[in-house]
């Protein structure tokens, strides 16, 4: 990465939005980073745009659009959970369209897909079946889980998430991310593994 502070582009996971990064924005900016957040199509304040045909390429285009419209340079893409799929695809596209713009990738307890992997590759057959059934009953969207279960949050933080979580578009669940791994060989990558508690859903891609 460059000796100057890179520009961070933060990409949320399923059910979220740019709002999920609210508490880290000030510390990151105080540390000298330029920081941008993306809300993926169909999520967060863009939930009104949700439709059954939204897929991984839609979300990759969201990230590319921000980088291009803001004319960002020295970019580090940061993805959480499902956002790891998005930043990997966006990184490949940036390498092809704007060589030299990308400085690194950070995966925050995120999907780290190999070529040909889809979002569902990390899930057990039981989890995959449950998610497919839930999406089929909800116009190809995955209902948000109750944040009070499985994340070891305070009641206040769980309530904060539950008020904002929205169903996540599901068209990308079995959509493979096909890419040439050689395009990312020279890109520094960092994986932040959250272990207390660990999120078992992404265990296969840790």
pLDDT in tens, 136-167: 999 899 999 999 876 789 999 999 999 999 99
Q: Is the dihedral of CA 53, 136, 80, 190 positive or negative?
A: negative
Residues serving a catalytic function are 81
DSSP secondary structure letters along 5-41: PPEEEEE--TT--GGGGHHHHHHHHHTT-EEEEE--T
Mean pLDDT (the chain) is: 93
For range 42-71, the mean pLDDT: 97
Kindly list the structural domains of the chain, giving each domain's residue range(s) and its CATH number in brackets, ordered by start: 7-200 (3.40.50.1820)
**Three-class secondary structure of residue 74 per DSSP:** coil
For range 10-39, the mean pLDDT: 98
184/182 Cα distance (integer angstroms): 5
Report the pLDDT value the prediction gives residue 124, as an integer from 0 to 100: 83
Q: How confident is the model at residue 196 (pLDDT cuts 50, 70, 90)?
A: confident
Among 70-84, 132-146, 170-184, 190-204, the range scoring the smallest mean pLDDT is 190-204
pTM: 0.92
pLDDT tens, residue by residue, 72-129: 999 999 999 999 999 999 999 999 999 999 999 999 999 999 999 998 887 888 888 9
Report the pLDDT value the prediction gives residue 92, as an integer from 0 to 100: 98
Task: Describe the strand order of the beta sheet including 102-108 as a list of residue ranges.
Answer: 34-38, 7-11, 75-80, 102-108, 189-192
Report the pLDDT value the prediction gives residue 205, as an integer from 0 to 100: 60
**Three-class secondary structure of residue 170 per DSSP:** coil
Among 7-21, 63-77, 184-198, the range scoring the smallest mean pLDDT is 184-198
For range 12-41, the mean pLDDT: 98
Report the pLDDT value the prediction gives residue 111, as an integer from 0 to 100: 92
Q: How confident is the model at residue 2 (pLDDT cuts 50, 70, 90)?
A: very low
């Amino acid at each position: 990465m460059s000796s100057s502070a890179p520009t961070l582009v933060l990409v949320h996971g399923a059910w979220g939005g740019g709002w999920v990064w609210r508490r880290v924005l000030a510390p990151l900016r105080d540390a000298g980073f330029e920081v941008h957040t993306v809300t993926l199509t169909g999520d967060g304040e863009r939930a009104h745009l949700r439709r059954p045909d939204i897929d991984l390429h839609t979300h990759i285009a969201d990230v590319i659009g921000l980088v291009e419209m803001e004319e960002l340079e020295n970019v580090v893409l940061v993805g959480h959970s499902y956002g790891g799929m998005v930043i990997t695809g966006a990184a490949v596209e940036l390498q092809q369209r704007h060589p030299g713009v990308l400085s690194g990738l950070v995966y925050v307890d995120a999907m780290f897909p190999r070529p040909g992997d889809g979002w569902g590759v990390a899930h057990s057959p039981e989890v995959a079946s449950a998610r497919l059934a839930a999406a089929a009953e909800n116009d190809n969207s995955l209902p948000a889980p109750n944040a009070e279960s499985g994340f070891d949050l305070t009641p206040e933080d769980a309530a904060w998430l539950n008020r904002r979580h929205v169903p996540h578009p599901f068209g990308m669940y079995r959509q493979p991310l096909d890419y040439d791994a050689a395009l990312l060989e020279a890109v520094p990558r960092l994986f932040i593994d959250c272990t207390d508690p660990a999120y078992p859903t992404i265990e296969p891609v840790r």
